[in-house]
Amino acid sequence: MSRRRSFALCAVVACLLAVSGLGAERTPADAPVDVLISRHLAEAQGIASGDVIRLSTQATGADARRVRVRGIYEPMPDPLELNDNKFKVRLHLPDLLSMTARSDDPLAAETVDGLNIALTNPADAAAYSRDLMGRVPGVLARPIQRAMGRASVFVVLERFHLAIALVTIFASTVFLLALSVMVVDERRDTVGVLRLIGLTSRRVLAQVFVEGLVIAAGGALFGLLLALGSELVINRYFQWHYNTTLIFVRVTPKVALQCLAIAIPLGVLASVTASWLLLRKQVMALARR
């Protein structure tokens, strides 16, 4: 089975950072290594690509090592890291081990806590995990999708949103039905005249159905446009507040179609139901005679 190993290691910087102009004094023994830094760190400390800075794994700044910033990257947006420190540095694995290895541990420079393995065929992840754990006792291997999938905290949020949506739809349907009954009752005289001139209840209901369909479709489209406008405002505000590129709200075509499929039938149903309750009365009662 073909597979490719990739290492992605980030060191979170606790205390750094004085941009140094010691490039002219560089010696081969103290040549700065190349690193990448996050956009948040670059903006906070005023670091630009090509600058030489001192990087330390200790809050006091002791045993700092000179590194050269070869680029600035945008961290992968992660909802779980909204309030975490976004000051990050990416180093080559040998450079990272040389800075973090313990001098009293002879195997420190040859040991890693975890690594990510990318498979050519992601469908083989489960079989590969079982094979690896069988060959290397003590190693825990599991697919990321399974580890973070349905057991994540976002499942709770999804169910919470579903419960809110169901309650909102039920309450709004009851309110819409009550409003439709009041509106139709105000048109009692009009309905009575239509019945007196010979229009059947089915004909009146068909007219009410078309009218309700137009009003419901217009209301659903207005709500959809309002949601799209709110999406832009909400994303811009929270991206500014948390200094991230994470998308907080997204109105997808699937969500838009679901909204239209729920709103339009409910609007028509409320209008037709209210009219049907009125048409059940006698013609003379409708004409107030």
d(CA 181, CA 175): 10
What ranges do the domains of the chain cover?
3-114, 121-149, 153-286
Q: What is the pLDDT of residues 240-280, one digit of tens each?
A: 888 888 888 888 898 889 888 888 888 888 888 877 776 66
d(CA 43, CA 13): 14
Q: What is the pLDDT of residues 14-27, one digit of tens each?
A: 333 333 333 334 44
User: Do 55 and 67 contact (CB within 8 A), yes or no?
Assistant: yes
Q: What is the pLDDT of residues 206-243, one digit of tens each?
A: 877 888 888 888 988 998 999 999 999 999 999 888 88
Q: Which two tokens stand for residue 62?
A: 């002791």
Average model confidence (pLDDT) across the chain: 76
Q: Identify the bridge partners of residue 66 per DSSP, sorted by sequence position.
A: 54
